[in-house]
Amino acid sequence: MNPENAIEVRNVKKKFKIFYDKGNDLKDRILFRNRNHYEDRWVLKGISFSVKKGEAVGLIGHNGCGKSTTLKLLTKILYPDEGTVEMAGRVSSLIELGAGFHPDMTGRENIYTNASIFGLTKKEIDRRLQEIIDFSELEEFIDNPVRTYSSGMYMRLAFSVAINVDANILLIDEILAVGDANFQKKCFDKLREIKAHGTTIVIVSHALEQIEQICETSYWIEDGLIKESGTPKTVHDHYLKSMEEKRNQQLEKQHHQENQAKPPKLETSETEQLPDFCEKTAVRMGTGAVRFTNAILCNLQNQKQFIFNSEDKIKIILEYESFQPDLKGNFGYGIFREDGLHCYGTNILIETGSYIPVQKKGRVEIILQNSLLPAKYFLDIAVHSHDGIIFDDIRQVLSFVVSSDKYDIGVCRLPSAFSWR
Amino acid sequence: MKLFKELYDYREMIFSLVRKDLRGRYKGSVLGFLWTFINPLFQLIIYTIAFSFILPSPIEKYYLHLFVALIPWIFFSSSLQGGANSIMAAKNLVSKIYFPREVIPISYVTSCFVNMLLTFIIIFFVVIFSGVGLNPLAIACLPVIMLAEYIMALGLALLFSAITVFFRDMEHILSIITMAWIYLTPVLYPIDMISDEKIQKLFYLNPMTSVIVAYRDVLYYAKVPDLSTLAMAFLFGIISLVFGELVFSKLKIRFAEVL
pLDDT tens string, chain B, 259 residues long: the values are 788 888 888 888 898 889 888 877 777 677 777 887 888 888 888 888 888 888 887 888 888 888 889 899 999 999 999 999 999 988 888 888 888 899 999 999 999 999 999 889 888 888 888 877 778 888 888 999 999 999 999 999 999 999 999 888 888 899 999 989 988 898 888 888 888 888 888 888 888 998 999 999 888 888 888 888 888 888 999 999 999 999 999 998 888 888 7
* Nearest neighbour of B16 by CB, restricted to A79, A91, A112: A112
Answer yes or no: do A77 and B17 touch at CB < 8 A.
no
Which residue of chain B is at minimal alpha-carbon distance from A76?
B98
B160 located within any domain: yes
Chain B residues in contact with A99 by the CB 8 A cut-off are: 92-93, 96-97
Q: Which residues of B sit within 8 Å Cβ distance of A?
A: 9-13, 15-17, 19-20, 23-24, 27-28, 92-99, 166-169, 253-254, 256-257
> So what's the pLDDT on residue A234?
83
B4 located within any domain: no
What ipTM was estimated for this complex? 0.75
> So what's the pLDDT on residue B239?
93
Kindly tell me the burial class for residue B254, based on how many C-beta atoms sit within 10 Å of its own C-beta (0-12, 13-18, 19 or more).
middle
Query: What's at B80, amino acid-wise?
Result: L
Which residue of chain A is at minimal alpha-carbon distance from B166?
A24
Chain A residues in contact with B2 by the CB 8 A cut-off are: none
> Is residue B259 classed as helix, strand or coil in its secondary structure?
coil
Answer yes or no: do B28 and A104 touch at CB < 8 A.
yes
Scan residues 40-79 of A and list those with Cβ closer than 8 Å to B. 72, 75-79
| Numbered ranges of CATH 3.40.50.300 in chain A | 5-243
**Under 8 Å CB-to-CB from A137, ≥6 apart: which residues?**
A156, A183
**Which CATH number, 3.40.1050.10, 1.10.357.10, 3.40.50.1820, 3.40.50.300, labels domain A5-243?**
3.40.50.300
Chain B residues in contact with A169 by the CB 8 A cut-off are: none
> So what's the pLDDT on residue A382?
92
Chain A residues in contact with B91 by the CB 8 A cut-off are: none
> So what's the pLDDT on residue A267?
43
B12 located within any domain: no
Return the number of CB contacts < 8 Å for A and B. Answer: 80
> Is residue A153 classed as helix, strand or coil in its secondary structure?
helix
Specify whether the CB–CB gap between A285 and A393 falls below 8 A: yes
Answer yes or no: do A25 and B167 touch at CB < 8 A.
yes
What phi and psi, each to the nearest 5 degrees, are found at residue A11? 45, 50
Answer yes or no: do B167 and A24 touch at CB < 8 A.
yes
The mean pLDDT of chain B is 87
Extract the residue ranges of chain A whose pLDDT is less than 50.
265-270
| Whole-angstrom distance, CA of residue A276 vs CA of residue A259 | 9
Which residue of chain B is at minimal alpha-carbon distance from A124?
B12
> Is residue A403 classed as helix, strand or coil in its secondary structure?
strand
**Under 8 Å CB-to-CB from A303, ≥6 apart: which residues?**
none
* Nearest neighbour of B168 by CB, restricted to A25, A95, A122: A25
| Per-residue DSSP letter, A280 | T
| Numbered ranges of CATH 2.70.50.60 in chain A | 283-403
Which residue of chain A is at minimal alpha-carbon distance from B94?
A77
Strand partners, A13: A45, A82
Specify whether the CB–CB gap between A244 and A216 falls below 8 A: no
Q: For residue B236, give how far its alpha carbon lies from the nearest alpha carbon of chain A (Å).
A: 29
> So what's the pLDDT on residue B86?
92
Cα angle A133, A137, A138; round to 5: 70
Query: How many structural domains does chain B have?
Result: 1
B34 located within any domain: no
| Whole-angstrom distance, CA of residue A238 vs CA of residue A219 | 12
B56 located within any domain: no
Chain B residues in contact with A95 by the CB 8 A cut-off are: 96-97
> So what's the pLDDT on residue A266?
46
Which residue of chain B is at minimal alpha-carbon distance from A117?
B13
Q: Indicate if the alpha-carbon torsion angle A42, A47, A53, A55 is positive or negative.
A: negative
Q: For residue A26, give how far its alpha carbon lies from the nearest alpha carbon of chain B (Å).
A: 6
DSSP letters spanning B130-198: TT----HHHHHHHHHHHHHHHHHHHHHHHHHHHHHHH-TTHHHHHHHHHHHHHHHTTTSS-GGG---HH
> So what's the pLDDT on residue B163?
93
Q: For residue A126, give how far its alpha carbon lies from the nearest alpha carbon of chain B (Å).
A: 12
Q: What percent of chain A has pLDDT over 90?
A: 13
> So what's the pLDDT on residue A265?
46
Query: What's at A228, amino acid-wise?
Result: E
B159 located within any domain: yes
* Nearest neighbour of A104 by CB, restricted to B27, B256, B257: B27
B17 located within any domain: no
Answer yes or no: do B96 and A99 touch at CB < 8 A.
yes
* Nearest neighbour of B97 by CB, restricted to A16, A95, A121: A95
Q: Residue B49: how many CB atoms within 10 A of its CB?
A: 12
CATH number of the structural domain A283-403: 2.70.50.60
Chain B residues in contact with A102 by the CB 8 A cut-off are: 20, 24
Cα angle A13, A18, A23; round to 5: 135
What phi and psi, each to the nearest 5 degrees, are found at residue A359? -85, 170
B211 located within any domain: yes
Answer yes or no: do A72 and B256 touch at CB < 8 A.
yes
Q: Which long-range contacts (CB under 8 A, 24 or more apart) does A128-136 make?
A: A128/A164, A128/A165, A128/A166, A131/A164, A132/A160, A132/A161, A132/A164, A133/A107, A133/A108, A133/A160, A135/A160, A135/A163, A135/A164, A135/A186, A135/A190, A136/A107, A136/A160
Q: Could you tell me the residue range of the domain that residue B137 belongs to?
A: 40-51+62-258
* Nearest neighbour of B12 by CB, restricted to A93, A102, A122: A122
Chain A residues in contact with B96 by the CB 8 A cut-off are: 77, 95-96, 99
Specify whether the CB–CB gap between B92 and A114 falls below 8 A: no
